[in-house]
Amino acid sequence: MNTKKLSIVLFLFIVSFTSIQAQSNPVEKGLAAITKEAVQGQLEFLSSDWMEGREATTKGEFMAADYIASMFKVYGIKPAGDFAMPAFSGRRTASPQRGQRPQFQPSRTYYQNINFIETEPGSGEQLFALTEKEGNTEKRIYFTYGTDFSLQASPVGVEYTAPLVFVGYGFKNDDIKYDDFKGIDVKGKIIVRISGIPGASDPNSEIYKKLDLGNMQTRQALNRSKNEIAQKLGAIGVIELPSTLAASQAGNFRGRGGQMGQPTNIPFRYNLPYYEGETRLQGNQHRLSLPVDTLQLGMNTFTVSPKVSHEILKNSGIDIAEFEKNVNAKMKPASREIKGKSIYIKTSVKSKIVQGRNVLGMIEGENPNEVVVVGGHYDHLGAYQGYIWNGADDNGSGTIGMLTIAKAVAATGVKPKKTIIFAAWTGEEKGLFGSQYFVSKFTPIENIKLNLNYDMISRNVPADTAGVQVGIQYSEKYPALKEVVEKANKDYNIGLELSFRPSVRPTGGSDFQSFAMKDIPVYGFMAAMHEDYHQPTDTVDKVDINKMTNIIKVGFLAIWNFANDTKLEKVN
């Protein structure tokens, strides 16, 4: 055999051997199952008009849940939801004796059904009054609903009088070592707080960068956490005052009569590129909460006019502008009681029980007591006045990302060492309710070793012309989380530009937060915040499928690694 023929034979042997190796390598099989065509096809359907915006507890959500469950079946993913009794034609445990009723075994479904309480203001009058003492006189000043104050009511109608405590921004965060509640008792009291987050008005501040306050989703999550913190500390109500540093927030009170100071007989028009009308176009119409076993009055949050704000703070020694200036400079809270004043409130609420559902699938591992959870919320903002919030990026992209990782893990043909649960969460847009419910019911919670969450993984910021930038929040006490993703991105030449944001308990406004609050290590992947966020214009034609597919590949490689090889070691 001459040299030329020998070279050809050796080349063919190497190519053949490499091909056989690739076919026998579980990771390569998994990666091969992640295709742009499949990702795009599924995203187009999940974010189509047929899903009616997928608002939690609506018909659109149930249709989307059925679709997700059907894809789990296609991929061979076992159900991990509630147990349910089969229909009469189901499987019998044994042949019944004459005169006995047949016995049936419950079977597991893909659905974890959740009962929610849906609330709206009741038909009764909403009352808000300031009680103050002047010498021997105690006077009560009543303010007008829709003119002097607006109300986000708790799920329960209440009537009470309570003292007032000023708590600055009403903010607490371990990452920046800031606590407005330090040394102050708010139990059974109404807190008076400033809207926003300390440091949010200065994009150059360390706090702004540390908390990622330029990210709208993160800022919303931190604002939402303020009520959760206050309620845990025992506060029973909130009076929200406008920030003097945020000009856009000043004067933003809107009651039934329109913008403060506007005559109510002048039609107010909303002019958007895709909508023009006299009523506000807004999705997410249904307000939900999770039922609890014991009576909890919840938080009544009042946004008040400048007149009411002035009356509450009069003679208290509190200057909002001066307080905000000092906090921004020194980051030292200055909370105090507002003596001699209290607030009387009376609210009425209408409520009913409605149902939503998480969709859960599972690949059983060799060790059922070690679990990795891969998730993304599939709910969005629904449909209103003929408009549909399709939510292609938020969060059709994350849902399809979760489904595609399930497909890839199944395609490896290898049983992982840890069990992997794949979850499509409901109620994220209402307050992370689906993931909160899951972690509250999962026992023992210590068995969950890691959560990977996808939320909005398919868009680019204007500067990302190459479509490669992705942000990753993660639990900083587990450095392997960063190392594994960096290595996967490099070794497989995926080409993403990874921006990591570590924190002790990541609170980025998505479902990984529910796991982080239980001290479970988390990943939170997000590609970009954009102008179509929470708008009907978040449609599938604007997504970057190539970028989305690459983010899914990195997520699969990380999950496969942690489900099989790398141990998550915690550092102090």
Does 219 map to a domain?
Answer: yes
Does 117 map to a domain?
Answer: no
Q: Is the pLDDT of residue 17 over 60?
A: no
Domain co-membership, 536 together with 474: yes
Q: Is the pLDDT of residue 14 over 60?
A: no
Q: Is the pLDDT of residue 252 over 50?
A: no
Domain co-membership, 361 together with 309: no
Last-in-domain residue among 312, 347, 382: 347
CA of residue 27 relative to chain centroid, distance: 30
Classify 116 as helix, strand or coil: strand
For the chain, the average pLDDT equals 88
More confident residue, 220 or 79: 79
Please report the pLDDT score of residue 248 as a whole number: 38
CB 399 within 8 A of CB 374: no
Does 165 map to a domain?
Answer: yes
More confident residue, 383 or 296: 383
Please report the pLDDT score of residue 572 as a whole number: 80
Please report the pLDDT score of residue 285 as a whole number: 82
Please report the pLDDT score of residue 253 as a whole number: 38
Domain co-membership, 452 together with 491: yes
Query: Which residues does residue 150 pair with via DSSP β-bridges, in sequence order?
Result: 303
Please report the pLDDT score of residue 10 as a whole number: 52
Using 50, 70 and 90 to split pLDDT, how confident is the model at 215?
confident
Last-in-domain residue among 331, 347, 363: 347
Using 50, 70 and 90 to split pLDDT, how confident is the model at 20?
very low
Last-in-domain residue among 319, 347, 375: 347
Backbone phi, then psi, for 571, in 5-degree steps? -115, 150
Domain boundaries, position 73: 28-84+352-564
Residue 24 is encoded by which pair of tokens?
Answer: 């026998």
Domain co-membership, 342 together with 370: no
Please report the pLDDT score of residue 210 as a whole number: 78
Rounded to 5°, angle at Cα 233 from 232 and 238: 90
Domain co-membership, 68 together with 212: no
What is the secondary structure of 276-294 as a DSSP string?
A: EESS-------EEE---SS
Q: Is the pLDDT of residue 263 over 60?
A: no
CB 308 within 8 A of CB 451: no
CB 251 within 8 A of CB 257: no
Please report the pLDDT score of residue 402 as a whole number: 98
Backbone phi, then psi, for 472, in 5-degree steps? -135, 115
Q: Which of 456, 454, 438 lies closest to 403 in space, CA to CA?
A: 454
Domain co-membership, 147 together with 57: no
Lowest mean pLDDT among 115-129, 362-376, 410-424, 528-542: 115-129
Please report the pLDDT score of residue 256 as a whole number: 36
Please report the pLDDT score of residue 269 as a whole number: 76
Does 280 map to a domain?
Answer: yes
What is the secondary structure of 341-366 as a DSSP string?
A: EEEEEE--EEEEEEEEEEEEEEE--S
Classify 224 as helix, strand or coil: helix
Domain co-membership, 337 together with 372: no
Q: Is the pLDDT of residue 265 over 50?
A: yes
More confident residue, 32 or 293: 32
Does 108 map to a domain?
Answer: no
Residue 217 is encoded by which pair of tokens?
Answer: 């989703």
Q: In a 10 Å sphere around its CB, with 0-12 CB exposed, 13-18 middle and 19+ buried, how is residue 292 labelled?
A: exposed
Please report the pLDDT score of residue 89 as a whole number: 46
Q: What's the pTM?
A: 0.84
- 361: domain CATH number? 3.40.630.10
Domain co-membership, 380 together with 468: yes
More confident residue, 393 or 242: 393
Domain co-membership, 304 together with 389: no
Please report the pLDDT score of residue 13 as a whole number: 47
Using 50, 70 and 90 to split pLDDT, how confident is the model at 202?
confident
More confident residue, 533 or 217: 533
Total domains present in the chain: 2
Mean pLDDT, rounded, for 57-83 = 98
Mean pLDDT, rounded, for 155-169 = 92
Mean pLDDT, rounded, for 560-567 = 92
Does 260 map to a domain?
Answer: yes
Q: How many Å apart are CA 182 and CA 134, to the nearest integer?
A: 30
Note the helical H segments in 152-259.
206-210, 216-232
Using 50, 70 and 90 to split pLDDT, how confident is the model at 254?
very low
Domain co-membership, 231 together with 367: no
**Quick one: what percent of the chain has pLDDT higher than 70?**
88
Express each pLDDT in 217-251 by its tens digit: 777 778 888 988 998 899 999 999 988 876 433 33
Does 114 map to a domain?
Answer: no
A 10 A CB-CB count for 519 gives 14
More confident residue, 543 or 272: 543
Mean pLDDT, rounded, for 82-89 = 73
- 167: domain CATH number? 3.50.30.30
Domain co-membership, 133 together with 232: yes
Does 77 map to a domain?
Answer: yes
Evaluated on CA atoms 204, 207, 210, 214, the torsion sign reads: negative
Q: Is the pLDDT of residue 457 over 60?
A: yes
Mean pLDDT, rounded, for 544-570 = 96
Using 50, 70 and 90 to split pLDDT, how confident is the model at 448?
very high
Domain co-membership, 285 together with 401: no
